[in-house]
Chains A and B, each alone.
Chain A
Amino acid sequence: MAETPGTSSGAGRPSDELTVSGGGSVAVASDALFGDAQALEEVHHDLRAAAAQLAAVDSLVEVRLLRRSDAPLSALEAESEIARALDLVGASAQRAAAIAGVLRASAVGYGLADDAANRVSQQLAATLGYSTGLLLPMVAVLFAPALTPVLAALLVASLVAPKGAAGVASGLGHWLTDNSRLLTNPLTVALVRSGAMSIDDVIAGALGLPPALVQALGDEGVGATGIDTSAGLFSIIAAPFGLLAETAVATRARTQRDIAPAPRGIAARLDRIPQRVTADDGAKHGEHVRIEHYTTPGKPDSFAVYITGTADFSPRPGVEPFDLTSDVSTMADLPAGAVEAVRQAMRQEGVTADSPVQFTGFSQGGLIAATLGASGDYNTQGVVAAGSPTAQVEMRGGYPVVLLEHTDDIVPALGGTRTDDGPVLVQREAFAHRELPPDIAVPSHDRGEYHRTAELADDARSPQLIDAIARLDELGRGATTITSTTYVAERVRR
């Protein structure tokens, strides 16, 4: 869940095609297709109105009257043209309705086929994962003599010389940067998504649990086990080694200023997400959370919460709460330092359970936004998440949700497969037909790329997306005072 500052520097033609789904519908289609269907339905509506008007026009002048008044031939020609126009407009109205219907049906058909394909691939991945898990103990026995000294050496190196371990991580980072096309690939992303969904099956296979029980409890069954239980298991296993262990956090306000106006659209919201950057000396700068406080006469105060992404990828928690530990804890639905930091900031800002509040976040921040929005602890009025693994968070509160995901970004895929069709999901292949920038490991997760996607979403024609954005923009409308406060948090040892 990296947060890469700046905008993309990839060469070539940007891919601006959006795919839109959700919004309470199973339909999946490009924004252009939804836009065309909507336009054709409006054409149909106009043509029906025109046909009714023409029928009324036709009855204004009777041929008998024209004959009785010795009217000129042009009057009769006009009647003939009106009859012709009536036929053509009626036929056009039918054609417009038929094409719109076919477009809608194709979007629904694609959505259903996509859903069916996802279920099949998930089932296959689960079976493969379980089989892999079954073989793991055997593989471990075969390779244990060789693995044991290697793992021991790595463990000792990481404990005695942390810089050595950092070197390994750095080497991995270089490898990822050198092979970014492999990562920035929709196929890889699909594999990662399937893999994330089948981790629980691998574990169950390794534990030798009966396959029928695994299937019944897993995502393909009642969903009692899944990514959250796998993440929880990782946390439990890693904690004794001082890895992925949660701590308390302390949050404090840093800056406060009056601003105006409230944001309109998705791109303006992403612009307001604070950013943590790492200086050359390794020190972190910037804020974690920004809260805008809207005061509107005659209405309760409302709030918009903007949450940053992961700033530290070390599995060993330091002072930075927006770290890998919080990523895993949030995925596991366990108390996470970063989530607690946002809660503390909200309490300090005066947000109560009744205050209308919207959440916006990037990467891990989006996962936290979705988690807090769906927690039931707040009067959630909307969620916007960009590049976030939110698929396992069910957001059924009736509030507008817009999720931006790049089909060539592996980070959202870590959340697995979405089953909830309530949120409006806007997808784009960020680096289709484009060269990758040479210095970024996961360029499709770049904030600048998501900003571009947000701009496209703001200009999109899909009715469900237009409606969701309009509903999001209701918060803070008419506010007479807007105060923006930023917050910084850190982990504390007790």
Chain B
Amino acid sequence: MIDTASALDPARLQARLALSAQLAALASVLAVLERARTRVPGGGPSGEWHGPAQAVYGASVRQLGGQLDEALDAVRAAKRCTARAVATLGDYG
């Protein structure tokens, strides 16, 4: 819902529309990343696979998980900031 005041400022209206689209797209990205995160193997001890190779593998998948957690945090932060910006632009009107 675009209010009359915002509609009077074409740049602000355009920014608000773009940020709203960004918000929706970020929600979709978040869903894909969350699914990917659940698929990352645990890298825990295996019945047959012991020793240094297992430890290196475990460390690698843990690093991958940590990196994905950071990416998820960044997308959630981007989503939060975008939502706040959309609300603020609405308040300007």
List A residues at the B interface (Cβ < 8 Å): 15-17, 19, 30, 32-33, 35-36, 39-40, 42-43, 46-47, 49-50, 53-54, 56-57, 60-62, 65-66, 68-72, 74-75, 77-79, 81-82, 84-85, 88-89, 91-92, 95-96, 99, 102-103, 106
Q: Given A50-B32, A53-B25, A96-B64, check contact A65 B47 (CB 8 Å).
A: no
Contacts of B81 in A (CB 8 A): 74-75, 77-78, 81
List B residues at the A interface (Cβ < 8 Å): 9, 11-12, 14-16, 18-19, 21-22, 25-26, 28-29, 32-33, 35-36, 39-41, 43, 46-49, 53, 57, 60-61, 63-64, 67-68, 70-71, 74-75, 77-79, 81-82, 84-85, 88-89, 92
Q: Determine whether the beta carbon of B32 is less than 8 Å from that of A60.
A: no
Q: Could you say which of B33, B60, B85 contacts A72, with CB atoms under 8 Å apart?
A: B85
- Can you name the residue of chain B whose Cβ is closest to the Cβ of A433? B47
CA distance A163 to B84 in the complex (A): 93
CA distance A71 to B16 in the complex (A): 9
CA distance A103 to B14 in the complex (A): 48
Q: Determine whether the beta carbon of B11 is less than 8 Å from that of A68.
A: yes
Q: Determine whether the beta carbon of A49 is less than 8 Å from that of B32.
A: yes
Q: Determine whether the beta carbon of A81 is less than 8 Å from that of B77.
A: yes
Dominant secondary structure of chain A at its interface with chain B: helix
Contacts of B21 in A (CB 8 A): 60
Contacts of B29 in A (CB 8 A): 50, 53-54, 57, 85
Closest 7 CB pairs of A and B: A75-B85, A81-B78, A78-B81, A85-B74, A88-B71, A69-B15, A17-B47
12 inter-chain pairs at a CB distance below 8 angstroms, sorted by A residue, are A17-B47, A32-B46, A39-B41, A43-B36, A49-B32, A50-B33, A60-B18, A65-B15, A71-B15, A89-B71, A99-B57, A99-B61
CA distance A78 to B68 in the complex (A): 18
Q: How far is the CB of B13 from chain A (nearest CB, A)?
A: 8
- Can you name the residue of chain A whose Cβ is closest to the Cβ of B56? A102
CA distance A65 to B12 in the complex (A): 8
- Can you name the residue of chain B whose Cβ is closest to the Cβ of A40? B41
Contacts of B48 in A (CB 8 A): 17, 19, 30, 32
Q: Determine whether the beta carbon of B11 is less than 8 Å from that of A81.
A: no
Q: Determine whether the beta carbon of A56 is less than 8 Å from that of B25.
A: yes
Contacts of B46 in A (CB 8 A): 17, 30, 32-33
Contacts of B25 in A (CB 8 A): 53, 56-57, 60
Q: Given A30-B46, A65-B18, check contact A74 B11 (CB 8 Å).
A: no
Q: Determine whether the beta carbon of A74 is less than 8 Å from that of B67.
A: no
Q: How far is the CB of B36 from chain A (nearest CB, A)?
A: 4
